[in-house]
Structure 1
């Protein structure tokens, strides 16, 4: 039996959920289900969103770096924003698959570098928890109203927690720079409060500045300096809601030399001032 479902969630009224579904659905028994998207495609906003699939039955595949990975029940894959995407159903035994395209806001510490620079292919011995969360999300999407947007975020977060705790990666032949760049990204985030130069970051990775900058952008999807700035703003957001410190004190603690520059950067990235952001979380 051939079945497919496509459900779009409206943009949330509250802009600060840690994660939020954008487009969800499923395919079952459809041998023509084949997707080929170029890098940085704006199709379905996948230059900005993660794309998660997991297999409930049947067979399919993911193509990555001229190699095909056959997938079956319990397998899945995660593309980070901007990656090229090539996957499809087996023609003789097409998969029963569910997917969710989702946005994140400060989940980097949980997702880590999964799906950044290369597709993350995984296997789960027990897929029922993901399936349950996904079926609840689909039910919400079929009759959605704004009163349910917090529940949609919670269900997606629960799904991602199960995935991060229980999924085992399927090894891929890696570009030699990927591991070094991932370690450098972790180093930048862990040391964002100190004065890091581009040369410091490149030296930590063991590369020249031009090579490091090019590889970092290609694998992580943004420049090293942009990643450093986002790390500092993320830390500042956490301090704004968890401490009584002034904006000036938070700016300094987050690694900004001037509070005026901090406010400028925060407003550019978060689309509100630090004080406005803090007011959203006041009891």
Structure 2
């Protein structure tokens, strides 16, 4: 059993938004099992499954976990989890605390400790590795950086995690198919959007496409398309001062300036003209 177990001294719990008490990387054996009664642990307990299999138990039910799955226990929760007896998991984990984490998580819909499946896991694992590397090299020499990296893990988790509740977790290939379409969908955002065409390219029908897209990306195809169009419009407003609002609307995928104004104001809380005036003289550099 490989164990990389890193610990830090407890700081004033109100000093940072979030801060780790300990973190680590385990390649476990089949005997790995943890059971804590309610109230035994006063930190958040986050685990990410790198490979292998394991489980968590909640309300008397066992839920199997595999690569790309994760779980988060809130402070004071009863905890029960462990490795699969034949295919024990490799896990990366963080025990952390913070000044307002619980309230923020609940506001974002994370009301109770449940297992979750990541839409894509590479970003989260990279953030965890950054945190483990910082603690391993410098311990508590740079506490603000440790806090920042912990927040990065939490933000990536919030962005990518979806509940595992039977029908809510589809095959990874469906998610990967949707994610593979994003660069092309972004590049063609100014063109008319034909849902049936994109669904066919994903190998499914329009209803399944919308459902799978929302599961993979966290928003509807139309919401993603609108985000891409507004992003393009903002760049044109700053980079191309010679273009009128109507031309920018057309180049961003909107047939009329009035509808473009409406969608832009809904997104940015100001009109395109006000945005251009605010950032007059500024250029967007893509590095």
1:180-229 CA distances to partner (integer Å, 9 max, x unpaired)? xxxxxxxxxxxxxxxxxxxxxxxxxxxxxxxxxxxxxxxxxxxxxxxxxx
Aligned partners of 1:79 and 1:115 also within 8 Å: no
Structure 1 unmatched ranges of 5 or more:
173-283
CA distance in 2, matches of 1:6, 1:75: 21
Q: TM-score, normalised by structure 1?
A: 0.54
Structure with max Cα Rg = 2
Aligned to 2:24: 25
Alpha-carbon distance, 1:115 to partner: 6.2
Post-superposition, which runs of at least 4 consecutive aligned residues in structure 1 deviate over 6 A?
none
Aligned to 1:61: 55
Secondary structure at the aligned position of 2:97 is classed as strand
Aligned to 2:6: 7
Taking only aligned residues, the RMSD between alpha carbons, in angstroms, comes to 2.0
Q: TM-score, normalised by structure 2?
A: 0.54
CA distance in 2, matches of 1:112, 1:124: 18
Aligned partners of 1:25 and 1:99 also within 8 Å: yes
Aligned partners of 1:29 and 1:93 also within 8 Å: no
Aligned to 1:204: none
Q: 1:130 to 1:73 in 2, by over 3 A?
A: same
- Give 1:109-128 correspondences, 5 Å limit: 109-112=103-106, 118-128=112-122
Aligned partners of 2:20 and 2:150 also within 8 Å: yes
Q: Does 1:134 align with 2:133?
A: no
How many residues get paired?
165
CA distance in 2, matches of 1:8, 1:108: 22
CA distance in 1, matches of 2:162, 2:46: 15
Alpha-carbon distance, 1:14 to partner: 8.9
Aligned to 2:152: 158
Aligned partners of 2:45 and 2:93 also within 8 Å: yes
Aligned partners of 1:78 and 1:115 also within 8 Å: no
Structure 2 unmatched ranges of 5 or more:
167-287
- Give 1:253-268 correspondences, 5 Å limit: none
